[in-house]
A and B are shown apart, each in its own frame.
Chain A
Amino acid sequence: MNLAFYLAGAVSVAASLLAVTRRRAIHGLLYFVVSVLSLAVVFFVLGAPFAAALEVIIYAGAIMVLFVFVVMMLNLESGTGKKEGRPFSLRVWLGPAGLSLVLLAELIYIVASGGQGELGGVAIGPKAVGLSLFGKYAVGVELVAFLLLGGIIGAYHLGWHQGKKGS
């Protein structure tokens, strides 16, 4: 099963890399969906089937679909976004890539000097997660509810005038 982990991980990394480097947003989005799906596999391998299911249903199935719909249906990029010209030239990517690599090096250093442990020994099912959520983290669940409510109201209000006068 180690192989599944490494394979899915590699797919996820590759898809993410492709996602950030696409010229057209919609391509990037679709690549990201691939990355998310492969990460779901990783979750499953690590013994978190519930999280894997959530990842697919909510992240790939709701959030990214929303994203894709908004980009596709509202035709946001008609006449715009082409100004980016050559987003893949060395000049543009040198700085960010360098910074990111440095950060990566630091993170790996920290991780390597950290603790050891084994993952994926036991599968932790939805029941255990549910008990934990509504037991220990009940307050957190309530807060998340506030947050989602705020998100709904904000998105509704901000999008309200879209069809009308506009601003």
Chain B
Amino acid sequence: MLDLLWMVPALPLTGYLILALLGRRLSRSGVAAVGVGSVALSALLSVRVAFSFVSSFHQTPVYVQRLWTWLNAFDFRPSVALRLDALSLVFVLVVTIVGFLIHLYSTEFMAEDEGFRRFFAYLNLFIASMLILVLADNLLVLYLGWEGVGLCSYLLIGFWYKDPANGYAARKAFIITRVGDTALAVGIFVLYVGLGTLEIQGLVDQAAAKWLPGSSAAVAAAALLLGGAIGKSAQLPLQTWLPDAMAGPTPVSALIHAATMVTAGVYLMVRMHGIFELAPVIMIITAVIGALTLLMAGFSALSQVDIKRVLAYSTISQVGYMFLAVGVGAWSAAVFHFLTHACFKALLFLGAGVIILGLDHEHNIFKMGGLRKKVPFVFWTFLAGACSLAALPLVTAGFYSKDLILWAAWSSPGGSAWLWAAGVVGTFLTAAYTFRMVFITFFGPLKSPFQLKPGFRLKAPLLVLAFLSIVAGFLEMPESLGNLPVLSRFLGSVLPGLGGGNIGRQIWLQVFTSGVVLAGISIAYVLFRRRFDETQRFLGTPAPARIDRFFYAGWGMDTLYDRLFVRPVEWLARIDPDDFVDLIFKGIARLNAALHIILARTQTGRLNWYAMGMALGAVILLALAVWL
């Protein structure tokens, strides 16, 4: 069964091809069948492959399937190869299953849209690219998937292209992630030049053999890989594209900008942990970036008004946690948090989608309210997701994954008290902004009429994801609470283990974190439910209003980039409209036009002229034949 691995990315890719080439002939239900069916089959197949893999896990912890040789130039012979090990299996299962649920949801969400076929084509292409990325056996194939998801992100953010603002958001996302992509590309070059191979196993082995810890080659490579990860995962300083990416349809935000693409950077770093471990300074930088980002995004989420932007900043913040975990060397913890985050963040986005649809595309949470009684199903599932995000103690998956990260930040050799403190403050902020969102959206008086009866296809994914948001945490129970590290033992075949430690201290920290979470929820309750009007009045006064606006604008980074990059480039373009390079291109065009005019004159239409031409040609050819 394992040799059907190639079909896992091939099925969605085929779905894309069918929809792109023949989709116009299919009916709506046909398009939906192809779009959802290909991902469903892929999900089923990955589960089947997972079973085969796990049953033969002890003999073969890694399965590589070489498909064909991609290039053959001098000594460079990369092949298109897929690698299945514990790490990629986790990612594959998440991408296909969550992807399937979101596809199902989209059939009802996008039912009225005229771009239905296009949507599913792009979505299928995205799943295919993401699967190629996580199943890649060498960095070249990974880069292929990387670029593919970037392209699909652009296409899907700007899906409603008739509104130029959406196109702007799509371009912004693409250009900013491009900065990261370039860093990744250069990083791949550095790795190849330094180690002579691009295969993942080869890189890890060669790096351990050839590069000393802390050597400049390792640091350079790790820094460049980090640069790529920052771009794709929207961390400081390349995080400004993600809030604007919410211009795309909600399923897109759920799939790409919550569950999968933004975690591609985390995947890259975890995959290349061998390189990162040789560059401790880069690990420290990663952790610091993660910590700063999670704080910054947490504060920004507190001031957001659009429900999707709250979730967007929340995503940036949670991915910051994953970076923090990577930076302190807790690789499995990062993967665990990825898993739980995919479940609850997708749930939150999908729930928000139902609300937005029902309120006729209203995004402003202050225009919502009272939805708890109106759509109790959405409320309870959303609440499950929100609790998981806020890391409600013991009963939610988010608690276990976030707690693991905090423990690693405190106790592991790369961690420090400052990082742990940042994580804890972040936890408080997460609980606060999450429940701010919940209270304002679902409680209080009904401010706008809700006019939708969500069907099975909207509700079933919410239910499944809500279940997972609660239950997925039990995959990794820490030592103080039952000691069932299923996930990290599974990942232990690929990644270095997490440190254990002082159970007493663990329990103290867990209690402390739980307290912080409950405090955050209570503060949110007080500020945004009990004393809502007073809070709003307070935020209206000058000083708090300025801070509020500062947080709202993402700490002013958009303005900063505008002043620093955008305006100078525009100024340069304005003062230099017709430069030397332009002249070359214009010159070529003009030369062509002139030649055309000259040649057109030879078509006189006169017989004698043509006959003379033929005779002349004969003379010249004969001369050439005779004298050469």
Q: Which residues of A are at the interface with B, using a C-beta cutoff of 8 A? A: 95-96, 99-100, 102-103, 106-107, 109-110
Whole-angstrom distance between the Cβ of A97 and the nearest chain B Cβ: 11
- CB-based contact B612/A106 at 8 Å: no
- CB-based contact A110/B626 at 8 Å: yes
- CB-based contact B615/A103 at 8 Å: yes
What is the CA–CA distance of A110 and B615 in the complex, to the nearest angstrom? 17
**Residues of chain A within 8 A of B626, CB atoms compared:** 106, 109-110
Q: Which of B572-628 contact A (CB under 8 A)?
A: 612, 615-616, 618-619, 622-623, 626
- CB-based contact A99/B622 at 8 Å: no
Whole-angstrom distance between the Cβ of B621 and the nearest chain A Cβ: 10
- CB-based contact B612/A103 at 8 Å: no
What is the CA–CA distance of A109 and B622 in the complex, to the nearest angstrom? 11
A-B pairs with lowest CB-CB distance, top 9: A106-B622, A103-B619, A99-B615, A102-B619, A110-B626, A106-B623, A106-B626, A109-B626, A99-B619
**Residues of chain A within 8 A of B618, CB atoms compared:** 103
- CB-based contact B612/A99 at 8 Å: yes
**Residues of chain A within 8 A of B616, CB atoms compared:** 99
User: Which DSSP category, helix, strand, loop or mixed, fits chain A's interface?
Assistant: helix
User: Which DSSP category, helix, strand, loop or mixed, fits chain B's interface?
Assistant: helix
Whole-angstrom distance between the Cβ of A163 and the nearest chain B Cβ: 27
Whole-angstrom distance between the Cβ of A113 and the nearest chain B Cβ: 8
12 pairs, CB–CB < 8 Å, chain A vs chain B: A95-B612, A96-B612, A96-B615, A99-B619, A102-B619, A103-B615, A106-B619, A106-B622, A106-B623, A106-B626, A107-B622, A110-B626
**Residues of chain B within 8 A of A102, CB atoms compared:** 619
What is the CA–CA distance of A95 and B616 in the complex, to the nearest angstrom? 11
- Nearest chain-A residue to B625 (Cβ)? A110
**Residues of chain A within 8 A of B622, CB atoms compared:** 103, 106-107, 110
New A-B pairs, 18, CB < 8 Å, besides A99-B612, A106-B622, A106-B626:
A95-B612, A96-B612, A96-B615, A99-B615, A99-B616, A99-B619, A100-B615, A102-B619, A103-B615, A103-B618, A103-B619, A103-B622, A106-B619, A106-B623, A107-B622, A109-B626, A110-B622, A110-B626
**Residues of chain A within 8 A of B615, CB atoms compared:** 96, 99-100, 103
What is the CA–CA distance of A122 and B349 in the complex, to the nearest angstrom? 102
What is the CA–CA distance of A103 and B622 in the complex, to the nearest angstrom? 8
What is the CA–CA distance of A35 and B626 in the complex, to the nearest angstrom? 31
Whole-angstrom distance between the Cβ of A55 and the nearest chain B Cβ: 26
Q: Using an 8 Å CB-CB cutoff, how does the interface string of B14-40 with A read, 1 for contact, 0 for none? A: 000000000000000000000000000
**Residues of chain B within 8 A of A100, CB atoms compared:** 615
What is the CA–CA distance of A106 and B619 in the complex, to the nearest angstrom? 8
Whole-angstrom distance between the Cβ of B91 and the nearest chain A Cβ: 70
- Nearest chain-A residue to B615 (Cβ)? A99
Whole-angstrom distance between the Cβ of A87 and the nearest chain B Cβ: 11
What is the CA–CA distance of A106 and B626 in the complex, to the nearest angstrom? 8
What is the CA–CA distance of A109 and B615 in the complex, to the nearest angstrom? 17
Whole-angstrom distance between the Cβ of A143 and the nearest chain B Cβ: 25
- Nearest chain-A residue to B616 (Cβ)? A99
Whole-angstrom distance between the Cβ of B42 and the nearest chain A Cβ: 61
Q: Which of B532-568 contact A (CB under 8 A)?
A: none
Residue among A95, A102, A106 with max Cβ neighbours from chain B (10 Å):
A106
What is the CA–CA distance of A100 and B616 in the complex, to the nearest angstrom? 9
**Residues of chain B within 8 A of A99, CB atoms compared:** 612, 615-616, 619
What is the CA–CA distance of A103 and B614 in the complex, to the nearest angstrom? 12
What is the CA–CA distance of A102 and B622 in the complex, to the nearest angstrom? 11
**Residues of chain A within 8 A of B619, CB atoms compared:** 99, 102-103, 106
What is the CA–CA distance of A95 and B608 in the complex, to the nearest angstrom? 11
- Nearest chain-B residue to A92 (Cβ)? B608
What is the CA–CA distance of A103 and B611 in the complex, to the nearest angstrom? 14
Whole-angstrom distance between the Cβ of A94 and the nearest chain B Cβ: 12
- Nearest chain-B residue to A106 (Cβ)? B622
- Nearest chain-B residue to A113 (Cβ)? B626
